[in-house]
């Protein structure tokens, strides 16, 4: 008899633990991120400013960048690993965001850093616009870009030099946050 009661008690404890675990799991579920934004400010000695928005679509994440204050020409444009823009030169943002251990490449490559957005080109007035759909980057899950940083470089990304694209110093930066 004692054995039966003991077994039943154990079963009850086990069951309640399972229910608690399930409740915790359900409470942790958050709605999917549909939109994100990085507000770009200049590193020391530079003047670039603007916004980069990320929006989930059926084909991938639509990236729309609108920047001012750039030098005329192409500028390497990446998501870097750390959302830490505390350094004056942008070095605290680390290297390219690369959760899948891929080589550096262009945004149209299958094998590339998740953060490789290619180049953004500024006109004679220093204004730059970019609008494309990225099939690799994610707004949710283990490889989410949320909390990482957008970096705008002074020079053009050559899509060859590993692992940076040889895009030179960092002209501007912004942390990617969840948007409405």
**Shortest reach from residue 90's CB to Zn ion, in Å:** 15
Residue 148, binding choice from Zn ion, Cu ion, none, Cβ under 5 to 8 Å by partner class: none
Instruction: Kindly give, in sequence order, each residue whose CB lies less than 8 Å from that of residue 21, ignoring residues fewer than 6 positions away.
Output: none
Residue 25: active-site member: no
Q: Which span sits near Zn ion by CB under 5 A: 102-110, 131-139, 146-154, 167-175?
A: 102-110
User: Where are any strands of DSSP class E within 58-140?
Assistant: 60-68, 73-80, 116-122, 128-134
Among 151, 152, 171, 175, binds Cu ion (CB under 5 A): 151
Mention every residue, 6+ apart, whose C-beta is less than 8 A from residue 35. Answer: 53, 54, 55, 56, 139, 178, 179, 180
Query: Is 78 a known active-site residue?
Result: yes
Tell me the torsion sign for CA atoms 89, 99, 145, 158. Answer: positive
Window of 3-11, 83-91, 115-123, 132-140 that interacts with Zn ion by CB under 5 A: 115-123
Is there binding between residue 104 and Zn ion (CB under 5 A)? yes
Structure tokens at 103: 């080589």
Work out whether 116 is an interface residue with Zn ion (CB under 5 A).
Answer: yes
Please tell me the distance from the alpha carbon of residue 47 to that of residue 36, in angstroms, as a whole number.
23
Choosing from 75, 113, 148, 157, which is the catalytic residue? 113
CA distance 2 to 134: 64
Q: Contact between 113 and Cu ion (CB under 5 A)?
A: no
Strands, E, within the chain: which ranges?
A: 35-42, 49-57, 60-68, 73-80, 116-122, 128-134, 149-153, 170-178
Token output for 128: 């730059």
Is 78 a binding residue for Cu ion by CB under 5 A? The answer is yes
Which residue among 116, 134, 148, 157 is the active-site one? 116
Q: Which of 113, 148, 153, 170 binds Zn ion (CB under 5 A)?
A: 113
- The one of Cu ion, Zn ion, none whose footprint includes residue 79, by CB under 5 to 8 A per kind, is none
112 is known as an active-site residue:
no
152 binds, among Cu ion, Zn ion, none (CB under 5 to 8 A by kind): none
Would you tell me which residues interact with Zn ion (CB under 5 A)?
A: 96, 104, 113, 116
Active site amino acids: 78, 80, 96, 104, 113, 116, 153, 170
């Amino acid at each position: 008899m004692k054995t039966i009661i003991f077994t039943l008690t154990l079963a009850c404890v086990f069951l309640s633990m399972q229910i608690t675990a399930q409740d915790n799991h359900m409470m942790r579920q958050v709605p999917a991120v549909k939109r994100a934004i990085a507000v770009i400010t200049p590193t020391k000695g530079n003047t670039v400013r603007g916004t980069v928005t990320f929006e989930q679509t059926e084909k991938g994440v639509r990236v729309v960048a609108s920047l001012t204050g750039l030098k005329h020409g192409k500028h390497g444009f990446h998501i870097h690993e750390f959302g830490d823009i505390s350094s004056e030169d942008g070095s605290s943002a680390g290297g390219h965001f690369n959760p899948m251990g891929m080589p550096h490449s262009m945004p149209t490559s299958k094998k590339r850093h998740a953060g490789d957005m290619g180049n953004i080109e500024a006109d004679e007035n220093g204004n730059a616009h970019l609008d494309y759909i990225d099939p690799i980057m994610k707004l949710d899950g283990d490889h989410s870009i949320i909390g990482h940083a957008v970096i705008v470089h002074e020079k053009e990304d050559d899509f060859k030099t590993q692992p940076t694209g040889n895009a030179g110093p960092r002209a501007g930066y912004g942390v990617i946050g969840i948007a409405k």
